[in-house]
A and B are shown apart, each in its own frame.
Chain A
Amino acid sequence: MSSICEDILANGVITITGECKGCDACVKQCPTGAITVNGLGTKHAIDPEKCVNCGRCLVACPFGRIQDVSMVEDVKAAIAAGKTVVVQPAPAVRVALAEAFGAEVGTNAEGKMFSALRELGFTVVYDTLFSADLTIMEEGYELLGRIFKSLGLPGYENAGVLPQFTSCCPGWVRYAELFHPEILPNLSTAKSPMMMLGALIKTYGAKNLGVNPADVYSVAIMPCTAKKFEASRPEFISSGYQDVDAVITTRELAEMIAEAGIDFASLPEGEVDKLLGTGSGAGVIFGATGGVMEAALRTAYAVVSGEELAVLEIDAVRGEGALREATITIPLNADLKAATGAESVDVKVAIVSGVENVEPVIEQINAGTCDYHFIEVMNCPGGCINGGGQPIEHSIF
């Protein structure tokens, strides 16, 4: 493990510099009360024991006085050393990267992003979209197992408890570990899309590329500062190596592109590499609050009913409210009808946007009154498109 990762595990990703003006803008955004205030106008500090590394404070600081640990130099060194440097960009990166080069907010620059990554010297370009789909398969089947267990179906005795929480947001996972260890059995055991792809790149990927996994350096481009902490966690060695070697943010990628003198706007529309590069629209919407839920419901519906949803847009889970809920009725396929004696199952779901808004849900669980099956939690309001690693365009304010 690199010394940067050890530093991150010990001290966290986010730091306030000596130049803090004590204006309190960051304190209002912090979901965990991790920022120590000695008084308005005095220098603030972050307590790593309470910080979930989300960078919401960094985005909020009007003076740019909050910083995140950078792994960019490590990545450049790996490229310069001629390693097989494999990269995966997250869904939310493609709709924010172009903003840093003056494009309209929300512009989708997927093709130019792939081209830029190749120009920067990355050897293989895969896509976190692929593993977002894989996450839906693993997490979706896990959820169905928990639901079937609750219905008393045989063969699911070992499934976990309900409700099931999503586990793809490392800000939320850290929040649960630090403040609510009692609900950890409710967290899906599925890794995040980034960590799934990391584990596959150094096994299945390396085998298919015909390279030694020891020579592979795996990089993730994320809208997120908490992902730097996640990749550094010591348990992510399932490939026999550190599964993801470095995480760089959308902001840092923009900086690398600018520094390399690449004219982003005139780049051609590039292509992703096959094998671990194809993703569905369900993977794309992972970057938005409610998106993981919608993606999971599209697949759960197909598995449970044996038919595809007639309308794939599930408006009931869209929106930007801090805590939303919906009930989706799924007709049962013939086997499940026979096993349960029912015609359909009502799946109750909730979506939490902004990790602090999970508190009422956890209260319900602890009181034994929670009847949700599946709950999506995103640390950042709006989801990863508003993550702590996204471009900050102070010029619009």
Chain B
Amino acid sequence: MSHIERIIGDPATITRREAIKGAVTVVISAILASGIGTFAISSIEKAKKYITTRIGGLYSQDAGMTLRVSHANPEVITLYETFLSPGAVAPAESELSHRLLHTVYGSDVEHHIAHLKEVSIEEAIEETDASYLGAAHAAE
């Protein structure tokens, strides 16, 4: 047990499920932040200030960047052109993009799992290559 766990005590309850460590972590963050680990009651108003300030951190990072739109991301374009839809940028279209980037919900999940186990990833890659590169050949 670490030094910090000993400080906060309660090891018996923390081990109800071995993997559960959140409360320990909470206290450690408090200790890291304050140096002394003071504990007090939270207040909605202060939490709101946190939200606004962290959001501000994201908006100012965005404002300072040269690449600011998703469709201009060069690595995204390369991913489509070399893998997801070879030779083209075709979002939400190929077999591979449906397999790797889309999912289903609720009662459809079971059937989807069976499909993923039945058709291998290699087959999905082959099918995608055939339809895009095959189409490109036909057009030549």
Compute how far the CA of A285 lies from the CA of B62 in the bound complex, rounded to whole angstroms.
7
**Does A130 lie within 8 Å of B26, measured CB to CB?**
no
- On chain B, the number of residues with a Cβ less than 8 Å from chain A's Cβ atoms is 84
Instruction: For the complex, give the distance between the alpha carbons of A176 and B38 in Å.
Output: 38
B29 engages A393 (CB within 8 Å): yes
Contact A395 B33 (CB under 8 A): yes
Give chain A interface residues in 133-186, CB to chain B under 8 Å.
133-134, 136-138, 140-142, 145, 167, 173, 176-177, 181, 184
Residue among B20, B91, B125 making CB contact with A140, cutoff 8 Å:
B91
- B32, B38, B79, B113 pick with most chain A CB within 10 angstroms: B32
Interface magnitude class on chain A: 35 or more
Chain B residues near A312: list those with CB within 8 A: 68-69
The residue that B103 contacts in the complex, of A60, A68, A94, A191, with Cβ under 8 A, is A191
Consensus secondary structure, chain B interface:
helix
Q: How far is the CB of B37 from chain A (nearest CB, A)?
A: 8
- Residue B7, interface by CB 8 Å: no
Name the distance in Å between A262's Cβ and chain B's nearest Cβ: 12
Interface contact A67-B21, CB-CB below 8 Å: yes
CB-contact partner of B71 in A70, A275, A303, A392, under 8 A: A303
A278 to B101, CA, bound (A): 18
Q: Is the CB of B22 within 8 A of A70?
A: yes
Q: Given A251-B25, A312-B68, is A281 in contact with B102 using a C-beta cutoff of 8 Å?
A: no
CB distance B13 to A19 under 8 Å? yes
Chain B residues closer than 8 Å to A393, beta-carbon distance? 29-30, 33-34
Contact code string B33-71 (vs A, CB < 8 Å = 1, else 0)? 111111111110011111111111111111101011111
Q: How far is the CA of A233 from the CA of B91 in the complex (A)?
A: 25
Beyond A134-B76, A138-B102, is A15–B20 a contact (Cβ under 8 Å)?
Answer: yes
Q: How near does chain A come to B56, taking the closest CB pair, in angstroms?
A: 5
In chain B, positions 66-125 with a C-beta closer than 8 Å to chain A are 67-76, 79-80, 83, 91-93, 97, 99-107, 109, 112-113, 116-117, 120-121, 125
Of chain A, the residue at the smallest CB distance from B39 is A394
Given A72-B21, A393-B33, is A285 in contact with B58 using a C-beta cutoff of 8 Å?
Answer: yes
Bound Cα distance A251, B92 (Å): 35
Q: How many angstroms between the C-alpha atoms of A67 and B14 in the bound complex? A: 8
Residues in A with CB closer than 8 Å to B36 are 395
- Residues of chain A from 106 to 142 with CB closer than 8 A to chain B in the complex: 106-108, 110, 130, 132-134, 136-138, 140-142
Q: Any chain A CB within 8 A of the CB of B133? A: no
Smallest CB gap from B38: residue in A: A395
A100:B91 contact, CB within 8 angstroms: no
CA–CA, A91 to B63, complex, Å? Answer: 15
Check A190 against B102 for contact (C-beta < 8 Å): yes
Q: Quick one: closest B residue to A390, CB to CB?
A: B54
**B16 proximal to A (CB < 8 A):** yes
CB distance from B21 to the nearest CB of A (A): 4
What's the Cα separation between A66 and B16 when bound, in Å?
12
A7 to B112, CA, bound (A): 22
Which residues does chain B contribute within 8 Å of A137, judged by CB atoms?
70-71, 76, 80, 91-92
Which residues of B1-34 have CB atoms within 8 Å of chain A's CB atoms?
2, 8, 10, 13-14, 16-17, 19-30, 32-34
The answer to whether the Cβ of A254 comes within 8 Å of any Cβ in the partner chain is: yes
Q: Are B70 and A240 in contact (CB under 8 A)?
A: no
Assess whether A326 is interfacial by the CB under 8 Å rule. no
Within the complex, which residue of B26, B65, B93 is in contact with A392, where a contact is CB–CB below 8 Å? B26
CA distance in complex: A177, B107 (Å): 9
- B26 close to A195 (CB less than 8 A): no
List, in ascending order, chain A residues with CB within 8 A of B73's CB.
130, 133, 278-280, 283
Complex A-B: 12 CB contacts under 8 Å: A65-B23, A69-B17, A91-B58, A134-B101, A190-B103, A235-B103, A235-B104, A279-B73, A280-B70, A291-B58, A298-B70, A394-B40
Q: Give B contacts to A, CB under 8 Å.
A: 2, 8, 10, 13-14, 16-17, 19-30, 32-43, 46-63, 65, 67-76, 79-80, 83, 91-93, 97, 99-107, 109, 112-113, 116-117, 120-121, 125
